Homo-oligomer: A and B are copies of this chain.
Amino acid sequence: MRLVVARCQIDYAGRLSAHLPMATRVLMLKADGSVLVHSDGGSYKPLNWMSPPCSVKEVVSEDGQVEWLVTGKAEDTLRILIEEIHHDSSHELGVDPGLQKDGVEKHLQELLAEHPATLAEGLTLVRREYPTAIGPVDLMCRDAEGRSVAVEIKRRGEIDGVEQLTRYLELLNRDPLLAPVRGIFAAQEIKPQARVLATDRGIACAVVDYDALRGLDDPTDRLF
């Protein structure tokens, strides 16, 4: 890992073309050859970058200008024209053990599979990841009357999720052994437009409380 603070000008040509005027920025050169250009603000996203695998070549022109030419896989090129280097240091980091996550959609699905009745009175699980020709339905359930219920789970419920569930329901309802199948759109948060679309299509919405579900679950069975 090499960290450079330099006044530089940058041009990128690849899937798009982009240009950064001369200014002072941080250049992060990782061990795999990838390069990140950060300014003092914005977000975690660099102003510009080159993804690995790629290689950096230093070019010095006749008039003494230093340029770093970063070339990637396809026709991606990042040209960094260096005017002045304020800082330059290299560091040995080693391999990172990596990130452990908890609280993503998969966990929500696991919890709802264990407690389907929180979605609707008397709901019982038939199976998780119920397979169909166009992909698996998150939860296939049966209601108190024994009718099929397809559940689509999202962390954040938006219009795409309703579209997805609609496709499943359309397909499932062609199967006379299952039909009629109704749908429940479950999410920790449901956007108004998604709710309107779901309601218009006769799909029920269920807002899920992740922490409450965790409370129902065995508290010893945690990641950390």
Contacts and interface: CB of A to CB of B under 8 A. Distances in A.
Interface of A: 1, 3, 5, 15-21, 23-26, 28, 30-32, 34, 36, 38-49, 51-52, 86-87, 89, 91-104, 160, 163, 223-224
Contacts of A17: 101-103, 223-224
Contacts of A3: 3, 5, 26, 87
A24 B31 CA distance: 14
B25 A101 contact: no
Contacts of A89: 87, 89
9 contacts: A18-B99, A24-B91, A25-B93, A25-B96, A31-B40, A42-B96, A43-B52, A47-B99, A86-B91
B47 A43 contact: no
The 5 closest A-B pairs by CB, nearest first: A16-B103, A39-B96, A40-B93, A44-B49, A17-B102
A31 B23 contact: no
Given A17-B101, A99-B20, A93 B39 contact: yes
A38 B94 CA distance: 12
